[in-house]
Structure 1
């Protein structure tokens, strides 16, 4: 599929971007942010388009996005007050504590990805590869040395995509008893040096 790549999405696309994110991460976050209607209500106002590289099809429809994180923020923001507006203060407190498990400190010279989302009907058509290519170009333009991401152990399809692109595992993290909450046991940290970025096969 031929796609157009750009940075950000406009306000009219916010509901589509939110659904893309939830489609990609509901298996990971569903037990904490679900049910879906409440999750979407929380997520929609706290997605920050300036931290997203987006892909649109020939009709101009948003079909994928790759989030990233900088010292100014990341794709998904939100505060305890935002959580409380949807889940109440008690719900906000325990949800905020669990979500903090996914916080990642920035490393010097490393471009931290913050989620890759491709619409289910567009998967397997090269959208994810196009987004990863754009992420590498963005990292290079910022003068950074590598791109880094985390992939959970229950998502082998995503890991296979990253490995085909050239990412290699550089570490792993187990979440212990929290696996019963999130539905996965751990995550692998993967990294690709910008200077050695391969061109994926077409």
Structure 2
């Protein structure tokens, strides 16, 4: 019974809600302590020693979750010989992985796979997209896919506001981070049929403009 209870506690610590809006500094510290439970002695000592540093670097609950997810991949000899380098590796990976996961979750929650496919296809060739080109294609795409009405501009605006897209002085759009593109691609991979049906007319529309 004791072993079953211990196993259940270990599972429960990974089921904590990770809504960033609910987390201030005290909640992040508590989450950090909860995620620390049950770690092997070397990792437990490591996360205890560098708790303040990690909480300065990572300010979102999902980032903390990704940080702890990455710890088993750290080599024990690296922890012993170069703990600060190991810490830098883990925090950087946590930040990048959380960006990708957040993008996927946002697209799924907003039912924005189709506009994301269009955005991805237009940015892919040159790493950036003219806002004028996007506006020029928008109406023609909506004529083909009425479900896209308002969706492309809404996604772009939310991504600019959320610092997933950078808007230049000339209005051009580019990814803030490569992991944003990775997140979009991960989301698109989960909906191959919707992506195919969306991109096929995009090719025709782009060829006519």
Q: TM-score, normalised by structure 1?
A: 0.23
Q: TM-score, normalised by structure 2?
A: 0.22
More helix by share: 2
More strand by share: 1
